[in-house]
Amino acid sequence: MGTSKIVMGAGVYVIIGLYALGFSAADQAVYTVAKSEAFHDQARQIANVGTKFAVGDMGSNSSPAFPSGTVSLIGGAVTYTGDRPAGLAASQVRVTSSGTYNGYQVTVVAILFYNGVKWTVQRVYQQADAAEYSRMS
């Protein structure tokens, strides 16, 4: 009878150990996903800052040179360029801004509009990234 208690007790300890191991692996997976999302969000915020730099470069001049630049900031970098593709009015400029942070890159496209006084952001689009979708699967 004593042997069965030992075997039963050992079985319980093995089951508890397996549950603890499973919880540890799940906890690590959640941490990895959270870190990935945080880095991606930071890259997106940096890309949005690039559109603000472009607005600053445009100033209040109704026909300035197209903005462009590369800036390093808060552990990442942003590169932005402006152009006017066919179909945009003379009062509009497209700005493509790419932010990078810890190996993650996000590209946003903004349409700037001259409202008669200054340039403002009219619309912002985030470009789809195939690498981002592959991380989700």
Tens digits of residue pLDDT in 50-70? 999 999 998 888 888 899 999
Cα dist from 105 to 8, 65, 75, 79, 98, whole Å: 53, 26, 13, 11, 7
Tens digits of residue pLDDT in 17-47? 777 666 676 777 778 888 888 898 999 999 9
Task: Tell me the whole-structure pTM to 2 decimals.
Answer: 0.75
- Could you tell me the residue ranges of all domains in the chain? 2-136
DSSP state string for 119-133: EEEEEEEE---HHHH
